[in-house]
Amino acid sequence: MPAVDFHDGVNKGVAPVTYGTGSRPPRGDYAKARADYTCEQAYAQYTEADHETYRRLYTRQLQQLPGLACDEFISAVQQLGTPEHIPHFDEVSERLLIATGWQIVGVPGLIPEEAFFALLAARKFPVTDWIRKPEEFDYVVEPDVFHDLFGHVPLLFNPVFADYMQAYGAGGMKASRLDAAELLARLYWYTVEFGLIATPQGLRAYGAGILSSAGELRHSVTSPQAERVAFDLQRLMRSRYTIDSYQATYFVIDSFDQLFEATAPDFTPVYRQVRDRIAVEGEIAAGAVLAGERRFSANPPARG
């Protein structure tokens, strides 16, 4: 079979090759998606069982949020609408557009990074339109509609975080040209997916991978088994991560402003410095701690 080039970010109507996935291609019907990989949310195709899965996932996560999720997330999660059924993407988009100028768009599943960056840069967040099977209730390999909506969308209602996500997309388009997408992927992983924030009340989660996970939400904030180090852009870009277990290291920001400002400058010299340092000192293993590094201790275990 001839190789298909996905690096132009244009949908060819078949499941794309994406990084960070398993041995089988992503599920999802790419034949129905447009050239930019977006698709209509086929709402009528959801079954009662699908809505029930969403309701159960939402309810389980919601009750875990107090004391573990950041306030910005908790105050915005209701913007998703009733947990009784999978939200209509256009209804969430209407509210999001008013709040921060973002929209959500349906996609069949994982999409190539070039297409992903282009959507973020246009303030469009791609949301997978299918939901996991009941037997995948506790763990699904690829992001589904619950991960994408519940995990990612509430913080897009926060103006500073919303600007950070757009800047990330614009930076990604440039990083692809500089062959630095892997370094930038680490930034996404350790902030957007698995980021923690320090608050006067203690550590809180803001990363979608944590917030949509039944077990990692509590683990990330309260487990003594994990390392939590202060956010440092170059340190983070030198750090490997794990995809098949809870994170061994979490990076902690002081505020969303700090995150936005640290990532606002042109990354071109940053990539060069990170690469030079990796060439001399190597990458940093997940769970490793550097001498003199600012660390955070776990919150005391929450009740319940």
AA letter at 246: Y
**88 catalytic per annotation:** no
| Residue 103 near residue 97 (C-beta atoms within 8 A) | yes
Q: Which residues does 32 contact at the CB level (< 8 Å), separation at least 6?
A: 39, 40, 42, 108
Closer residue to Fe ion, CB minimum distance, 143 or 154: 143
Q: How far apart are CB 207 and Fe ion at their closest, in Å?
A: 9
Q: How far apart are CB 148 and Fe ion at their closest, in Å?
A: 6
Which listed residue (114, 193, 216, 227) is catalytic? 193
**239 catalytic per annotation:** no
Closer residue to Fe ion, CB minimum distance, 120 or 221: 120
What does the block give as tokens for 3?
């190789």
Closer residue to Fe ion, CB minimum distance, 205 or 208: 208
Which listed residue (93, 176, 212, 239) is catalytic? 212
Residues that bind Fe ion (CB under 5 A): 143, 208
Q: How far apart are CB 303 and Fe ion at their closest, in Å?
A: 29
Closest-by-Cβ residue to Fe ion is: 208
**40 catalytic per annotation:** no
Indicate the burial class of 279 (C-beta count within 10 angstroms; 0-12, 13-18, 19 or more).
exposed
Q: How far apart are CB 97 and Fe ion at their closest, in Å?
A: 21
**85 catalytic per annotation:** no
Closer residue to Fe ion, CB minimum distance, 210 or 237: 210
State the sign of the Cα–Cα–Cα–Cα dihedral 66, 67, 69, 74: positive
Question: What are residue 202's DSSP bridge partners?
Answer: 199
What residues are annotated to the active site? Answer: 147, 152, 193, 212
